[in-house]
Amino acid sequence: MKRILYFDNWDKGYRNFLRLDSRFKERGYDTLLVHTSSWIRNDVEKEKTLQGLKFRDVSYYRTNRIKKIIKKEAPSAIVILNLSFILDRALVKICKDLGINLYYLAHGKLITRESQVVVKDNMKKFGKSKLYSKVKMKNIYSLYNYFIEMKSLSKFFGFFIKASKNYTQFTAFPRYSEELEVQKSMMYYPIDRDIMIDEYGFPPDNVIVVGNPELDDFFHTKIKDKNEFCAQDLGLEKQNYIAYIDDGLSSMRNWDTNKWLQFLKDINDVLKKHEMQMVIKLHPRRELDDACVSFFKDESIAYFKDLDFKNYIYHSHFVFSHFSSVIVYALLLDKNVKSPRWGLSVGIEENFPHDVIDYYYNKEDFENNLYNLAINKPAIQDYLLEAIGTSFDGKCIDRIVDEVLTGL
């Protein structure tokens, strides 16, 4: 059977594969998403299907050894969304041993050179990202797969020596080695390719730019009437809303749910004074508890996990976010983007140039500029040309699928 296997550490990121899925099937390939969600939480279905894509958790196979699962499914090729973690390294070795092509597809804009210093510093400051705090079931199983595939005491001790000196190379900031050698690393944007080569040391001939597959839907989506969109899609009585793109700020930046809600309250107090409504596009990893839902109700904040993103951005008064990679979408639509750096947001990395989005270092300046929607169009156009190149053409998915199938 001709099969493309998608592999990920949880089932939340399935949309990154779903965008490609119909194209692979049109080309005669069966598809399957294998994930390790049960290493993270207990309430996981062993097998399910969403929007035509079949999911299988590792628990379906009654083994935690990934090589046994790969051998059983016998895929023609495997596509992954990460290439730095311990389990990724084990998967590279497995695919080499079994002669299976492995492709890395980045699933967002990489952290810029300038921001890496800030992020690494935050990772070292806050305990959640430190190695000793990572002794959890998923890491135990990942280490098990890594060491059983490497079959080397030197690799065993070498890992701990490297991790003790700089554990970030096993998280968000890899250093290239044979452990990360895949068929191709496929990046969204030219600027990401530069980071992979210049900062992480990947061979230039191994890293290609395919564009952002999310932009294909964005490219083809038609703009709706604002009254219709606000009433029917967003359920809003008033049309004067702010599009807040949730960055999914995590504990490595010392943010928990309580801090996130404090941040939202600070912003929403300003917006309510000016009769503006906050509408949140939640990050895929964001889990809402009862406190969040109650807070949103009390603050009259609308929130969505999924929505018509192009119209959401287009019809907003302005876009508000810290560093989300999808800020690019707002720039494509000539929207003003405001980014906070006061209060709890002090010290968060600045992933976009100052002439492209507006940073605010105190709340008073932010409030005084709520109606300042000016943009620096020449600077934005220059940035977009550097950042996404010519990939905004509606053909990104075809480039990805062609790259994978050409190698078979």
Those residues with Cβ within 8 angstroms of residue 129's Cβ, 6 or more apart along the chain or in another chain: 123, 167, 171, 251, 252
Domains of the chain (ranges, CATH numbers):
3-212+393-406 (3.40.50.2000), 216-387 (3.40.50.2000)
Inter-CA distances, 365 with 114, 259, 260, 368, 374, Å: 25, 22, 21, 5, 15
Round to whole Å and give the CA distance between 146 and 90.
5
pLDDT, block means (10 residues), the chain with 408 residues:
95 94 98 97 95 98 98 98 93 98 90 61 54 67 92 72 64 85 95 93 97 88 97 94 89 77 97 98 90 97 96 98 92 97 92 96 98 98 81 88 96
**Quick check: 351 and 189 in contact, CB under 8 A?**
no
**Quick check: 169 and 388 in contact, CB under 8 A?**
no
Please state the pTM of the whole predicted model.
0.77
Give the pLDDT score at 129: 45
Give the pLDDT score at 151: 81
